[in-house]
Homo-oligomer: A and B are copies of this chain.
């Protein structure tokens, strides 16, 4: 049984703040500062260039990948960390399209995070072969999995509504139609149990600065199923994905498996912070995290709805059907969120009218949720955003 009081004690949380935006940037693991300081002082400072071997820097992308693999049901050795989520989306999409050279459609939904769609647009422009990015409503995806689709690219949990796709079912439908799947786990990894191997996902990508608490700009990860790993094409064929990067061959020869999805020199300071953050996950059982997340989000919805009739729930009411965040629609949502932040309840605003709150059981408990409900009720019922002292600059992401 996960001891959530113990996990909460591993984080630094600002005094007087109830932080409900860990779905955007996770809170600071207390151990991260010392881990990064050691990487800077003991490794960079003392080992200098030899740190790549002596301190194990070169192995970090796969080491961290293996740690994350354990959280998303991936086979060890098939997740690698690096770059940004946008870049990893591009790699997965390019490899997926290459597996279906006779098809021309990337299917996605309007609930996908925009950068996934943008990266697809850029890839399509570059390929210049008449590919189409077909974007449908989230609830219509299943009906659009047809045999002209090359790649189905979906974010499992909608960044705005928290609506959750059925990964197992949609992957099965995709495979039945010969479609390659790319799952974006940005709002899943660390939020709920994911079973990539069980779902027979082809590719998955995700970021580590949200629920995994890797810090601002922490690197992304990418997964490729073992059955594809040795065959995939690598459009971003950087030297770190070469089978012998230090041979300095003039020609690219991809490394085996997922490691070929490395590109350039990995960001070691960010990785030190992420490594420390992942230590906390060793204390947690994902089933417990999910159970607590569902209980807390249910409590939050019930409490807010009981006192704030002006807010309209914008997330699935059924906890099973959503991730670990709750959104409400409200026409003055931007100002209301500013006022909430000024009062110490930090969520975020998403255009045009969405107030979004992330619930992260590793460091958010019942007391926090009740405290947030009380403040939200006060702000909403007294229209505090109309008062000048509550008009602060809001969080941006």
Contact = CB atoms under 8 A, between A and B. Distances in A.
A94 B125 CA distance: 11
A351 B393 contact: no
Which of A118, A242, A248 has the most CB atoms of chain B within a 10 A radius of its CB? Answer: A118
A329 to B, nearest CB: 15
Interface string A122-136: 110111110000010
A70 interface: no
Contacts of A216: 43-44, 51-52, 57, 265, 268-269
A382 interface: no
A310 interface: no
A50 B346 contact: yes
Contact of A32 (B21, B40, B49, B58): B40
A222 interface: no
A27 B48 CA distance: 7
Interface stretch (A83-91, A165-173, A191-199, A288-296): A83-91
A229 to B, nearest CB: 17
Nearest to A273: B269
B53 A393 contact: yes
B14 A52 contact: no
A122 to B, nearest CB: 3
A271 interface: yes
A28 interface: yes
A41 B350 CA distance: 27
Interface string A259-270: 000011111111
A58 B396 contact: yes
A223 interface: no
A1 interface: no
Q: How many copies does the complex hold?
A: 2
Given A14-B48, A53-B393, A121-B237, 16 more contacts: A21-B49, A28-B45, A32-B40, A43-B216, A49-B346, A50-B393, A52-B395, A83-B264, A113-B239, A114-B239, A117-B251, A122-B237, A127-B127, A216-B269, A248-B350, A270-B270
Interface of A: 12, 14, 17, 19, 21, 24-25, 27-28, 32-33, 36-37, 40-41, 43-46, 48-54, 57-58, 83-87, 90, 94, 110, 113-115, 117-119, 121-123, 125-129, 135, 160, 207, 209, 215-220, 233-240, 242, 246-252, 263-271, 273, 341, 346, 348, 350-351, 393, 395-397
22 contacts: A33-B37, A33-B45, A36-B269, A40-B273, A43-B216, A44-B216, A52-B397, A83-B264, A84-B263, A84-B264, A86-B240, A86-B264, A90-B236, A94-B126, A115-B264, A117-B251, A119-B236, A122-B252, A126-B127, A209-B265, A217-B267, A248-B350
